[in-house]
Amino acid sequence: MTTYTILIILSGLVIFSYLFDLVASKTKVPSVLLLLLLGIGLRFLVDYLKIQTFNFLSILPTLGTVGLILIVFEGSLELKYDREKNKIIKSAFFSALTILLATASIITLIIYQITHKDLYTCIANAIPFSVISSAIAIPSAAALGKQDREFVIYESSFSDILGIIIFNFAITNHSITTSAFIGLGLSTFLIILLSAIACVVLLYVMGKLVHHIKFFLIISILILVYAIGQSYHLSSLVLILSTGLFLNNADTIRNAWFRSVFLYKNLSADLSQLYQLSAESAFILRTFFFVIFGFTMNISELNDKPVLANGFFILVTIFAVRFFFLKVFKNGALSPIGYIAPRGLISILLYFNLPKSLKVAEVGPSFLFLVVLGTSLVMTLGITLSKNKPEETSTV
Q: What is the pTM of this model?
A: 0.81
CATH of domain 12-385: 1.20.1530.20
Give the long-range contacts of residues 275-283, CB within 8 A, separation 24 or more.
275/74, 275/77, 275/78, 277/215, 277/216, 277/219, 278/70, 278/73, 278/74, 278/77, 278/219, 279/74, 281/70, 281/219, 282/67, 282/70, 282/71, 282/74, 283/17, 283/21
Candidates 381, 395, 377; CA nearest to 37 is: 377
Give the long-range contacts of residues 39-42, CB within 8 A, separation 24 or more.
39/290, 39/291, 39/292, 39/293, 39/294, 39/295, 39/296, 39/297, 40/294, 40/295, 40/297, 40/299, 42/291, 42/294, 42/295
Residues 6+ apart with CB under 8 A from 220: none
User: What string of pLDDT tens digits covers the 396 residues of the chain?
Assistant: 678 888 998 999 999 999 988 887 777 777 888 898 999 999 888 888 888 787 788 888 888 889 888 888 888 888 777 777 788 888 999 999 999 999 999 999 999 998 889 999 999 999 999 999 887 888 788 777 888 888 888 899 889 888 988 888 888 877 777 887 888 888 888 888 988 998 999 999 888 888 878 888 899 999 998 898 888 877 788 888 889 889 988 988 888 899 888 898 888 899 999 999 998 998 999 899 989 988 988 777 777 777 788 888 999 999 999 999 998 887 777 888 899 999 988 898 889 888 888 888 888 888 888 898 899 889 888 888 775 444 444 444
How many residues are there in the chain?
A: 396
